[in-house]
Structure 1
């Protein structure tokens, strides 16, 4: 295994998906299959800071769920992304309850029921914090409310 190749999202409207990826997340459109369907249907490719994203025309998920893709972002950039996503009409969700040390997150649904998270923390930071919380519980220490 060498890493992640690409992420594909099934969408009703490719132009609307392009607005979400480009206008909301800052990706660049790099390919449009137009009338040449090399895959299952019309698709567009995007580059998001070196990550290959695909929007493929079709029937998206009928319902929303917590299944999501999380992108790591700098904490200072979170308000900029939120403003961009709101400006294109994407639905920014209320934040979920968090514990200190997890980092901050912005949750947003695209126009086809896909959930995206923009997250400021790392796996290492979260595990380190969870380890500290586990150790303090084991030692009978009370934690301050968050």
Structure 2
């Protein structure tokens, strides 16, 4: 397989200092570099690039970036997010503790306790409408 994981995520922001503050002060990220039009942050193993762009606009669909948190840290991070005034955009209806919220530029984010393995186990017990399961990519053709 050619893809090894996510390399980095870039989010367009309208106010760089405000965005950096949110990701560092509220979510606990580490600022690694900053320049006039952007910043590189670390959130766990995620390399996040914030890029100044006056055209940044909120998504109107359900697209979002989910960030892994452990069960022990979930409650305190959830409280910090709520205290920041972040808008909650969706209630959790799936397995695992989740909080769906927006950053100051209205990027849709989620903190989630769980992973693909726990989600699939939950779905095996209560599948979504029309859901099929494939073991180890069974029936898939690798990219050339």
Q: Same fold (TM over 0.5)?
A: yes
CA drift at 1:82: 1.6
Aligned to 1:132: 125
Q: How does 1:17-32 map to 2 (within 5 A)?
A: 17-32=19-34
Whether the 8 Å contact between 2:59 and 2:108 is mirrored in structure 1 is no
Shift of 1:92: 3.0
CA contact (8 A) 2:92 2:99 kept: no
Unaligned runs of 5+ in 2: 128-144
Q: CA deviation at 1:132?
A: 2.7
Does 1:86 pair with 2:85?
no
Does residue 118 in structure 1 map to residue 90 in structure 2?
no
Instruction: Return the index of the structure with the highest Cα Rg.
Output: 1
With over 3 angstroms needed to count, the CA separation of the structure-2 counterparts of 1:115 and 1:93, relative to structure 1, is: same
Partner of 2:97: 104
Unaligned runs of 5+ in 1: 35-41, 135-146
Residues 1:2 and 1:108: Cα distance change in structure 2 (over 3 Å): same
Cα displacement (A) at 1:108? 0.8
| Local SS of the residue matching 1:116 | strand
Tell me whether 1:45 sits opposite 2:47 in the alignment: no
Secondary structure of the residue that 1:127 maps to in structure 2?
Answer: helix
Distance 2:118 2:76 in 1: 23
**TM-align CA RMSD:** 1.7
TM-score of the aligned structures, taking structure 2 as reference length: 0.77
Deviations along 1:22-62, whole A, 9 cap, x unmatched? 1121101111122xxxxxxx111101113110110002124
TM-score, L = length of structure 1: 0.77
